[in-house]
Amino acid sequence: MTESPLTIQSILVPELTLCGVPGTSKKRILELIAENVARRYPELDETQIFNNLVSRERLGSTGIGQGIAIPHCRLEGCHQVVGALLTLEEGVAFDAIDNQPVDLLFVLIVPKEATSEHLELLSQLAEKFNDRSFCERLRRCEEAAQLYEVMTQSE
């Protein structure tokens, strides 16, 4: 079996690794994600990103439990997989499966047609976030550069 060339390390950029983000609600966090992604990738539409993330959340929360969420969506006009990692100052209600507030998010925005890559990345993320000590290392990061390092070094 060959290793997929699409890895967390290959899609996450330092500019979309945010540490200690203030967030008051799920909606505000999704808005902030859309703003930052559109700033980094100006060819992507901020409103479309936000609307697609919200539409995906309406299908069922991407809060996977233990304070972690993996918001994701497909996006028309997106030509590469985009990843963003955020830690929040305080947990926010995210309708997670365990009803716990979320303070650790990894966002995936994928091209409309990128089905298998999308699923492969979700699988990689779920595996990483299943490791409690790894999640604690992420939560202890006090600056974005450190957060980026921890997320990308352990692949």
Catalogue the active-site residues. Answer: 72
Q: Rounded to an integer, what distance in angstroms lies between the CA atom of residue 149 and that of residue 14?
A: 9
Q: What is the CA radius of gyration of the chain?
A: 14
C-alpha 65/C-alpha 25 separation (Å) is: 17
Ramachandran region, residue 34 (left: φ > 0; alpha: ψ -120 to 50; beta: rest): alpha
Tell me which residue of 92, 99, 33 sits closest to 66, measured CA to CA: 99
CA dist 127 and 7 (Å) reads 13
Choose among 8, 21, 20: nearest CA to 107. Answer: 8
